[in-house]
A and B are shown apart, each in its own frame.
Chain A
Amino acid sequence: MTPLQILAAAIDGTPAPRIPVFSSLLDQGPRELGLSPRDYYADGAKVAEGQLKLRARYGYDNVWSLFYVGKEAELLGCDDILFADDGPPNVAGFVIQSYDDIAKLEVPEDLTAHPAWQETAKCLNILRDEVGQTHPICAYLTASTTLPAMLMGMEKWLELLLTGPADLRDELLRKCSDFYRKEVAAYRAAGANVLVYSSPFGSTSFLGMKRFQSLAMPWMKRDLAPGGVANIVYYCGMAAFNNVIAQVMDELKINAHYISPLADLAEAKAIIGERGLTCGVIDDIKMIRWTPEQTRAEVRRLCEIGKVSGHFLFGTGVVPLSVPEENIRAMLDAAFEFGAYP
């Protein structure tokens, strides 16, 4: 079976030789090609090459079309990114400096015509041509309630969200939701087939349950309404969200969930059961200091919890550049070993 077929089997609960094994090696791309981060991320062909080489080197199932998280802000006018040699690029200049800028924020009519989309499109074309028939191609899309943090900074966004004028807040959320709708359509059309819906504000780690229900849930419904939830994976930026999984499944109809390493995987698996896909995620920050044996033991633990009755995927967060290669190898060896079905 191809990795794409193995993923489909995990979603459907049909027989497969093993669980899908996903890895997010993004920051490792520049090093893999011997380029500076600035040069690497400037060229979608390089990002695709980096992804393909890393996948070939380690043998996991997926590739990513994501350059770095701030890329979405560039599609909305950000032109100031801080590059680092030892970590991911970071939004350095916020598009929204004051509330007046919210009215000026423009969602591109045709996202795919925007200059900032061109390198992503180039990357996706290459990935689709090279592995599109056999391997999952992941895309990263930020929910409307979270995207403002990239446009105005988390501090100002929380201020507006919690104490600012509701009409301005809603105007910004509407624009971000419109952006999401266009973005998800563009990614789908370009061949991405695992769409990670990043919604940290869709967890009660960011907002309490009341605001989750009254604010986050309606906006998530708006985000997802036109495009539907096919191939969408619910992800809260590594925040725990077990207590909202049932609501997300019932109301948003999203059945694939990327569980935080801070959450109880067994609990999540019990909630999702055979109705959807549980993604067990290793704490890859701990992997910086773990030994290969510790890494292997944790992968085994996750697989033993998740593999029962199928519908399980093993995954990582964005693996930090400082995780030793021997731990990446130990993680993946263990995932294939303990993720095998008899």
Chain B
Amino acid sequence: MLDRIVKAYNEAVFETDKEAAFEVVDGALADGLSAEDVVFKVVIPAVEEMMSNITKDPDANLAQHFMTAQIAAEVTEKMLLKFERPPEIIGRVVMGTAHGDLHSLGKRIVMGCLKALMVDVIDLGVNVPAERFIDAAVAENAQVIAISAMMVHTATGDNGASKVRRLLHERGLEDRIKLVVGGAPYRFDNGLYQAVGADAWAADGVNAGRVIVDLIRALKKS
């Protein structure tokens, strides 16, 4: 039964059909699957499947990224209300777009995936000054600062990720807080993330979820 549900859910997500995805979830609950099983055995594997597809499939597209994240976040939110006990949260991220950048789509995709992957996200919004990233990460005890930048000057400029790195260094926070970046400019130059002092980057919003989870786990291990 589970295989059938997973297959139907994956197909709905792949086709960016939100209504069909919710029908599968409702059917699964009616068939006796628990809310926990829906999240951990259907939704999270589907997000992981999409991460893998995006890397392999040349026809993977922004619409799929967006809907994968939207569906995963909405199903997870709905299921969390039905959980017998609150799930274990992997870690916490503060996220926003770089100073001067008003493009919020990438951030929303990442946030949707992270919600499904049981990562707590503090959304700082758009056009976020470097100091605010640091202050929020410290106040919220976050392991990761994630910065989205869709324009070259906001990705590489003095007030974006490179300033966050400088502040992390000056305040002695580099062992406690990791810095992740994403957005179009980093796709055109895969080495750009290092040039701005980030610890990691992701080529798309869905895979950013995996990158952030990996960083949190590595940080917790150390």
User: Contacts of A207 on B, CB cut-off 8 Å?
Assistant: 61-63
Count of A interface residues, CB-CB < 8 Å: 34
Residue among A86, A161, A209 with the most chain B CB within 10 A?
A86
Contact with A along B162-174 (1 / 0, CB 8 A): 0000000000000
Q: Provided the pairs A84-B153, A285-B152, A320-B152 are in contact, do residues A158 and B59 lie with their beta carbons within 8 angstroms?
A: no
| Contact among A82, A206, A208, A289 with B189 in the assembled complex (CB-CB below 8 Å) | A289
Q: Provided the pairs A155-B104, A286-B188 are in contact, do residues A322 and B195 lie with their beta carbons within 8 angstroms?
A: no
Question: From B152, which residue of chain A is reached at the shortest CB distance?
Answer: A320
Asked if B103 is at the interface (CB within 8 A of a chain A CB), the reply is: yes
Q: Could you tell me the distance in whole angstroms from the C-beta of A297 to the nearest C-beta in chain B?
A: 16
Within 8 A of A (CB), among B79-129: 100-105, 108, 127
Is chain B's binding surface mostly helix, strand, loop or mixed?
A: helix
Interface 9-mer from A54-62, A88-96, A305-313? A88-96
Complex Cα gap A208–B191 (Å): 28
Q: Provided the pairs A87-B100, A204-B59, A261-B188 are in contact, do residues A162 and B66 lie with their beta carbons within 8 angstroms?
A: yes
A/B pair count, beta carbons within 8 Å: 93
Assess the B189–A322 pair: CB atoms within 8 A.
Answer: no
Complex Cα gap A82–B127 (Å): 11
Assess the A87–B61 pair: CB atoms within 8 A.
Answer: no
Binding site for B on A (CB under 8 A): 82, 84, 86-88, 90-92, 153-155, 158, 161-163, 204-209, 211, 238, 243, 261-262, 283, 285-286, 288-289, 320-322
Task: State the 9 A-B residue pairs at the shortest beta-carbon distance, nearest first.
Answer: A87-B153, A285-B188, A320-B152, A154-B105, A86-B153, A155-B105, A206-B62, A286-B189, A285-B189
Return 9 A-B CB contacts under 8 Å, by A number.
A155-B108, A158-B105, A208-B59, A262-B187, A283-B188, A283-B189, A285-B152, A320-B152, A320-B153
